[in-house]
Chain A
Amino acid sequence: MRLINISPGNGGRLLLGALPFVLLALAYLIGSALRLADNPGDKLLPSLAAMGRMIEVMAFTPDKRTGDYLLWTDTAASLLRLWAGLAIATLIALVLGLMNGVLPIVRAVLAPFVAFLSMVPPLALLPVLFIVLGLGEVSKIALIVIGVAPILTRDLALTAAALPREQIVKAETLSASSWLIAWRVVLPQIMPRLIDSLRLQLGPAFLFLIAAEAISAEGGLGYRIFLVRRYLSMDIIFPYVIWITLLAVAMDLALRLLRRRLYPWAEPEGQP
């Protein structure tokens, strides 16, 4: 039998999916054990127990100076920035993408400009943002918006423009105005794509967030990682990285469920 015709069953898929995780964990444990056997003071690959102790300190012990539980205050600060940035970017992308996709006049004005803007490397603008908007929250949120909005906008405009022309004409024969076509025909049909697009932009959004926090912040997940880097505290950095990843995975999953819940007609099989 050819390899392309062999597909695992449900249990097999679960097992195979877990395999890379198990291998990675094993590799880490073995590497860590070998290095610690060589040098008990090694900081590069700390043992699970050492990381557990630091998690205890960061997450469940109040900070001596401020009395805060650092992991949670960091998480709250970072998520607030991330969500504010994503929300603003989504709003901009929806309005611009919809107009861009529906109205040829707007497309003629905006499409080249948005295409140009989306090629500006956002991180290169970070110093400008810090200078113009100050070192506070605004510049960090602005970086996320600048990084995410143009790509979302282009994606939504393409999706809107790709709707069959027949649907638009059909809506006109049902007496729809331009506004009503956008509102009742195009908008609902680009929403599932917006959610998918947002899922894909979670990674870049975290990248911009952590980059901004690394340079200047008074708290936040990225700030903490770059702060403890000075002490080579891998026992804090690793748990933080895993925590950030888990947050992103959870948000991705939540968006996927939201899409399935709100737009059952857009599921790939077409069966709600």
Chain B
Amino acid sequence: MTALEIKGLWKEYGPQVVLENIGLSITPRAFVALVGPSGCGKTTFLRMLLGQERPTRGTILMDGTPLPPEPGPDRGVVYQRYSVFPHLTALQNVMLGPELRAARLTGRLWGRARKGLADEAAALLAEVGLAGAESKFPAQLSGGMQQRLALAQTLMMRPKLLLLDEPFGALDPGIRAEIHTLMRRLWNEHPMTVVMVTHDLREAFALATRIIAFDRPRNRPEERERYGATVTNDIALWPPRVAGRQTVYDADIVPEQDDLSRFAIHSGTTRPDQGAHP
């Protein structure tokens, strides 16, 4: 359960102010969608959460402690591109994280440890809908399958915080809808907080519990350099979407959608065929 506390965060590149005075408090298990126009610093913000960039001023606390200054296994990431390793097969990609964590010198596992990990990885691949593609290289997979693979690879590390940088932006609408269903399920079943950057408002409302919009309040050409973007909208979805619980958005029984009490009862997965699930 990972809470994020962001206080007085500024990011400047030389004279250019990108983000100014961002203050946010993100609850555990939230699914936050960051939206905003191109170039408003959404991705920069995500990179700071990731540890790829340092804030100019301000602090980011994760569960009360400041973020380490570099990326680490507690925070997973899926990019729009380059998220998986082209020289490894799907199975090897998913196995890579645990292998690197366990074998600090060779980066490889052998024997029974490898077998166990391979089984675990294959199970996760099947869970994201990639059963049968274990021995394929990423170049042989479609864009949607590559993103599923990237999700599986990241989830193997059981990150506390999952960061998504326009992960589904390059996919066509049908594939995107399928992967949204998968994404909702993964968020429901894995104990993680998610922050997702997206261009697509529909996607934001389809997945998130909370939508945060970044924009520049001052956007005249002569002001553009010295004033950065900040939080201009902060919308909590109503009725609330709660991780691990069926909600009105996931219901397929249309007539009963009005009865909100119905959806607060079931805890567990939203996976339709399995019912209650821890």
Contact = CB atoms under 8 A, between A and B. Distances in A.
A175 B101 contact: yes
Interface stretch (B66-74, B186-194, B216-224, B270-278): B66-74
Nearest to B70: A172
A183 to B, nearest CB: 6
Contacts of B104: 177, 180
6 contacts: A166-B82, A169-B71, A170-B85, A174-B73, A174-B96, A265-B137
B97 A185 contact: no
A166 B195 CA distance: 17
B199 interface: no
Given A179-B105, A264-B137, 6 more contacts: A166-B81, A173-B73, A173-B154, A174-B157, A180-B104, A265-B138
B55 interface: no
A170 B96 CA distance: 11
A167 B82 CA distance: 6
B122 interface: no
A209 B227 CA distance: 63
Interface of A: 164, 166-167, 169-177, 179-180, 183-185, 188-189, 263-266, 270-272
A177 B85 CA distance: 16
Given A166-B83, A167-B82, A264-B137, A173 B101 contact: no
A173 B72 contact: yes
B240 interface: no
B87 A263 contact: yes
B54 interface: no
B159 A265 contact: no
B79 A166 contact: yes
A169 B96 CA distance: 14
B42 interface: no
A266 B77 contact: no
Given A174-B100, A175-B100, A175-B157, A185 B77 contact: no
Contacts of B73: 173-175
Q: On chain B, which size bracket covers the interface?
A: 20 to 34
Given A176-B100, A189-B87, A265-B86, A170 B79 contact: yes
B107 A183 contact: yes
Q: What's the dominant secondary structure at chain B's contact region?
A: loop
Contact of A184 (B72, B75, B96, B101): B96
A43 B97 CA distance: 69
Contacts of A170: 77, 79, 82-83, 85
B198 interface: no
A174 B73 CA distance: 5
B18 interface: no
Contacts of B72: 172-173, 175
Nearest to B80: A166
B140 interface: yes
Given A185-B85, A265-B137, A169 B100 contact: no
B87 A173 contact: no
A180 B139 CA distance: 23
Nearest to A182: B107
Contact of B139 (A179, A188, A265): A265
Nearest to A172: B71
A170 B106 CA distance: 18
Contacts of A179: 105
Contacts of B51: 172
Contacts of A189: 85-87
Nearest to B96: A174
**Residue of B71, B105, B154 contacting most chain A CB atoms (<10 Å):** B71
A270 B159 CA distance: 31
A48 B104 CA distance: 63
A264 to B, nearest CB: 7
A109 to B, nearest CB: 22
Given A174-B73, A271-B139, A188 B100 contact: no
B104 to A, nearest CB: 7
B11 to A, nearest CB: 17
B119 to A, nearest CB: 19
Contact of A175 (B97, B108, B138, B153): B97
Contacts of A180: 100, 104, 107
Nearest to B138: A265
A176 B159 CA distance: 14
Contacts of A185: 85
B179 to A, nearest CB: 19
Given A175-B73, A175-B157, A184 B79 contact: no
B137 A272 contact: yes
B71 A173 contact: yes
Contacts of B81: 164, 166
A175 B137 CA distance: 22
Given A169-B71, A169-B77, A271-B139, A174 B82 contact: no
B52 A169 contact: yes
